[in-house]
Amino acid sequence: GPNLTHVGSRNTIAAGLFPNDARNLAYWIKNSRAMKPGVIMPALGKGEVDPVTKQTVTQGGLTDQQIADIVAYLLALK
C-alpha cells in the first residue's frame, strides 16, 4: 500500500490533484476511482458504484462513520 507516514501533514492527495482535507480524503476512501480514473484502489464506501466494475459496494463496504474514523486517524498522522 501507499506510504502513510505524515499523511496528515501533506498538502494534497491523489498525486497533487486534490487538497488534503477531510472531505476529499473521505471521498478518496469511498471511491477513489471516481476522483481519478486509472486508480487501482477499488471503491470502498458502502453504496458507492465502482466506475470500473460498475458494481455497487454492499457487503464489506465501509459506512460513513467508519470512513470518518479512518479520516480522523489519517489526518492525525503529522
pLDDT score for 38: 94
pTM for the model stands at: 0.91
pLDDT computed for residue 31 by the predictor: 98
The β-bridge relationship of strands 12-13 and 18-19 is antiparallel
pLDDT at 2: 78
Task: Tell me: pLDDT of 72 over 80.
Answer: yes
> To which residue does cell 500500500 refer?
1
Encode pLDDT of 8-59 as tens digits: 999 999 999 999 999 999 999 999 999 999 999 999 999 999 999 999 999 9
What is the distance, to the nearest Å, from the Cα of residue 36 to the centroid of all Cα atoms in its chain?
A: 11
